[in-house]
Structure 1
């Protein structure tokens, strides 16, 4: 990107639920001299978003409006105008590739909030080489899928290196609390994935270290037969946990971070990552585990998906600000050093009081600002949230997504 570009960043899909929240966060929280634009298909809807941004913060440079569809020529022209593109148009497996291709080809940095691991795998295979050649820094899954899990894991592994001068044997993550209603876009994505990919393809994308650029460690599975069969795992400091749907998206990204950030030399040669959600007791853990299994079987049936698409919340819809007033999310993680006689272990808590989608908007805006302003020594390629490191975490902490860390001595 040698020649100056018209914009520092563009929010593509700004009239959608997540896109609008991202634009509002940029308007109210990011530096007032930022050159930015909002983009989408409908000028009238974009003008309404711009007007709302002006109401929220009349003292800043307001966003320009760029009308653009998924047409390759239009996206090609748009991505040449901006240093960074935030893509919020999903489901990404149906609509996302056009923006990835244009950004990779034009050296435009790229962020999205997908949780569709198979699609991310496809994008890595198709466009990482191009991104490396043009210098485009591209980070998918930097919303609630999967930035918190990735950043908590990075924090724990960094703390273990600092405190114990040791690699990490295992990080165990608990989605300790997630209070919030899903948007129509989230539900639409879940239902669309099986229309695009087969179970075989989804299994392949979910195999250990499938997204890692280097082969992963051949370590033993940390889960007991009780965990596999009943979905119960109890860990001191985390409590009783059970199967987490979010782990499907988070695990491959954490394992890709392992490979991108040095593999054996940083996280460790025997590194394992396990992710669960908190359960109040053993019975609830079993109920959640089997409930998720039954739900997965049901949505695998095409007529069931068709019915759900007709009656669930539609894309673009989501909880109102009043409905999201008491939302919150909290993660807790334990990291065990990879030494024969561990002297202790690391603990991290990350929490946010507010809407999950406001958090996603902040994650997008703060990561964009970090790429633009923090001097990361990243060449082009497809990265993970953890590759933005402590500078990104510090920006999130300023925005209210708090990270706390400490060590426990044995």
Structure 2
């Protein structure tokens, strides 16, 4: 990537729901002297947003505005060549953003997005990985609510186990322990529904494999199919109902966000099997109270998947959407929102007392505000730590955890708390 460019960051799709939150966070909380711009299709909307950002910043300054009339490779390349990092909030990504990724890969421009569209992420990795590496671009999709928290939780557990017991991880079970949310934005809902319109049943099935993004799935026969966990087994009844119990995490059931999160975590592990462990397995669930709730949630998600598979029922579901694309919960309604993730990782080492790591992730606030903080903090981390990140991971499609402990430390200052602690006996090092 060229060292001298006009901007440090360009935020594309700044006038959308998530884009506005991201722009607001960039304005209010980034103390580093950076030069940035907002980009979109409408000059009037961009100007209005810039004026609001200027009035709220207290510094009397506002980001530059850039109009992108069409999301073609040619148009996006013009702006990609002017910035070090492009933050992309234009979704549905599978519908609009493939040219954006291509432009960044060809221009040597670092790229972040906040998608959770695993089939699309799989597609762009296959198409543009070599191009990105050749042009020295770092591309990190899914650095929002999906799937940065899960990836950072897994990284924190593996890091602790490596430091204490000098070994990898066999199994890791993660649970959304608490999720108080004001609901999904119109863009998120449109994206989820649109995947069923855009991709075939075969493509969706392949992308549901937790290892579909892992490099090991292409070169290691052990990962051509989802391996069984090493340290626990589910009964047939638990598999059918989706409800089971796990020590320290309680009663667990199916999580609607598990798919993209598991795929990203396994990509991280697949890129570094000597660090994570060759038998590493990550599974994500939702914690529920004992009783019928878990069974009802699992059953509801099963029927929702069936309904989404058929165009007529999919059309009916679209008619009940609370928000249109570009709309979402108000800031006031999200003030008491909260997410907490708890996870247990089992060390790949035999001992009388099981050696484990327990990780806790907490954020107080709206889920889209969390997404804004995750993406902005990731961009700042890459600007500051680029040499370290590239030396360790190289270029191409990376995962959020590739930004390392520096990212986690900066997130802590941004109100995103990730804590890992040791369970079991003392370390062997």
**TM tier relative to shorter chain:** over 0.9
Cα distance change, pair 39–236 in 1 and its aligned pair in 2 (3 A):
same
Over aligned residues, Cα RMSD in angstroms? 1.4
String of CA shifts for 1:219-255, please: whole Å, max 9, x gaps: 4244432331111121121111100011111111011
Bigger shift: residues 361-370 or 58-67? 58-67
Is the 2:249–2:343 Cα contact (8 Å) retained in structure 1? yes
TM-fit CA distance, 1:340? 2.3
- The question of 1:220 aligning with 2:228 is answered yes
Find the aligned partners of 1:163 and 1:224 in 2 and give their Cα distance: 33
Match of residue 283 from structure 1:
292
Match of residue 195 from structure 2:
193
String of CA shifts for 1:242-276, please: whole Å, max 9, x gaps: 0001111111101100122x21x111111111100
Match of residue 277 from structure 2:
268
TM-fit CA distance, 1:407? 1.3
Bigger shift: residues 293-302 or 223-232? 223-232
Equivalent residue in structure 2 for 1:303, among 301, 312, 321 = 312
Find the aligned partners of 1:252 and 1:400 in 2 and give their Cα distance: 26
Find the aligned partners of 1:394 and 1:126 in 2 and give their Cα distance: 33
Bigger shift: residues 52-61 or 196-205? 52-61
Is the 2:382–2:389 Cα contact (8 Å) retained in structure 1? no
Match of residue 82 from structure 1:
83
- The question of 1:365 aligning with 2:376 is answered yes
Cα distance change, pair 272–223 in 1 and its aligned pair in 2 (3 A):
farther
Find the aligned partners of 1:223 and 1:126 in 2 and give their Cα distance: 37
Match of residue 46 from structure 1:
46
Find the aligned partners of 2:252 and 2:60 in 1 and give their Cα distance: 46
- The question of 1:247 aligning with 2:258 is answered yes
String of CA shifts for 1:150-192, please: whole Å, max 9, x gaps: 1000111111111122211111000111111111111111110
Aligned length: 408
SS in 1 for 2:187: helix
TM-fit CA distance, 1:107? 0.3
Q: Which runs of 5+ in 1 are unaligned?
A: none
SS in 2 for 1:374: helix
Equivalent residue in structure 1 for 2:355, among 341, 344, 348 = 344
Match of residue 382 from structure 1:
397
Is the 1:257–1:386 Cα contact (8 Å) retained in structure 2? yes
Match of residue 152 from structure 2:
151
Find the aligned partners of 2:265 and 2:282 in 1 and give their Cα distance: 8
Is the 2:210–2:259 Cα contact (8 Å) retained in structure 1? no
Is the 1:27–1:60 Cα contact (8 Å) retained in structure 2? no
Is the 1:169–1:270 Cα contact (8 Å) retained in structure 2? yes
Is the 1:147–1:386 Cα contact (8 Å) retained in structure 2? yes
SS in 1 for 2:115: coil
SS in 1 for 2:252: strand
Is the 1:135–1:380 Cα contact (8 Å) retained in structure 2? yes
Query: How is 1:60-71 mapped onto 2 (pairs within 5 angstroms)?
Result: 61-68=61-68, 69-71=70-72
Cα distance change, pair 49–118 in 1 and its aligned pair in 2 (3 A):
same
TM-score by length of 2: 0.92
Equivalent residue in structure 2 for 1:328, among 338, 355, 370 = 338
TM-fit CA distance, 1:311? 3.6
SS in 2 for 1:377: helix
TM-fit CA distance, 1:32? 5.3
Match of residue 399 from structure 1:
414
TM-score by length of 1: 0.96
Q: Which runs of 5+ in 2 are unaligned?
A: none
Is the 2:37–2:65 Cα contact (8 Å) retained in structure 1? yes
Match of residue 10 from structure 2:
10
Is the 2:2–2:84 Cα contact (8 Å) retained in structure 1? no
SS in 1 for 2:99: helix
TM-fit CA distance, 1:280? 1.1
- The question of 1:314 aligning with 2:324 is answered yes
Match of residue 29 from structure 2:
29
Find the aligned partners of 1:139 and 1:351 in 2 and give their Cα distance: 22
Cα distance change, pair 169–41 in 1 and its aligned pair in 2 (3 A):
same
